[in-house]
A = this chain, B = another copy of it.
């Protein structure tokens, strides 16, 4: 079933059928009716590959994320996808699985599809992929971080600010011996560094840090607390790089009969649905991931449709959420 078949059935030229389908107000009521009828009768579904090739507009947006299972980014991706779909776009999803090599192959595959825009979770460091992307001329949104030198557009927040603010918050609660439990990703490291620096600035005990590597499970959190207590038995508060890790620390604290927040306070990151439902409820840092997704969708569509992008760099900020655990 092609446009020609529909046109023939409706007794018009293919281009007229195309207009009836895509820009119905450019066509007489009579023609519109006949074409619509023909579409229904034939079950015609336009071939968007052909349309995209002819118009150089694919109505496809690609999104790149490190992982999808239990990932903090999924709220963003879901919002992005929802906003795009309502406007007639579709989402292609790529996973890097935290591998730079894979990311490069992925970006080349994505560029090959000629999407109207690309959404990246995180920043793209200088390298072959970045060069390729910039050369392609495809609108890009980087996200979940800030930098003075984005590829194109940017919607994020400052991880250093978070580290500092959490340090001040915990200090204000009277904690003096602070620790960090974190995964080995760059943004977590950035938060941890700023956190440690601020703690020193405040004249408190230097921060003890446990790096759980690339596994970001509850178990890692449990193991990390054990390790931490070995190194520093009188630690008073742990700032975790994700709610999942915090949940692990919390779980292990319960197993060891350590009172939370009485003897040990715990702070998460991400404010996932898990956090508020824990007992004790987990204090965390809230990021409005949905907002990032929605804004990114708007930016990319504005670019794709030739409109000026009003705010190509947005800091969506964050908020420290005080609950029972810290």
Q: Which residues of A contact B (CB under 8 A)?
A: 43, 45-50, 52-53, 58, 60, 67-70, 74-75, 77-78, 81-82, 85, 88, 90-95, 97, 102, 105-106, 108-114, 132, 135-136, 217-219, 222, 248, 251, 254-255, 272-274, 276-279
Contact = CB atoms under 8 A, between A and B. Distances in A.
B255 A43 contact: no
A46 B112 contact: yes
A132 B45 contact: yes
Contact of A50 (B48, B53, B102, B217): B53
B78 A112 contact: no
Chain A interface helix/strand/loop/mixed: helix
A279 B247 CA distance: 11
Given A112-B45, A219-B277, A81 B95 contact: yes
Contacts of A47: 53, 112, 114
Contacts of A82: 95, 97
A48 B254 contact: no
Contact of A132 (B43, B46, B48, B77): B43
A271 to B, nearest CB: 13
B93 A91 contact: yes
Given A49-B53, A82-B95, A254-B279, 18 more contacts: A45-B132, A47-B53, A49-B113, A60-B92, A67-B78, A68-B74, A68-B78, A68-B81, A69-B75, A70-B273, A90-B92, A90-B94, A92-B92, A217-B277, A218-B274, A219-B277, A251-B279, A255-B279
A58 B49 contact: yes
A68 B70 contact: no
B278 A251 contact: yes
B70 A93 contact: no
15 contacts: A43-B135, A45-B112, A46-B112, A49-B52, A53-B53, A68-B78, A69-B74, A69-B75, A70-B273, A85-B106, A91-B93, A91-B94, A92-B92, A92-B93, A251-B279
B45 A136 contact: yes
A68 to B, nearest CB: 5
Contact of A77 (B68, B75, B78, B114): B68
Given A49-B58, A113-B90, A254-B279, A217 B69 contact: no
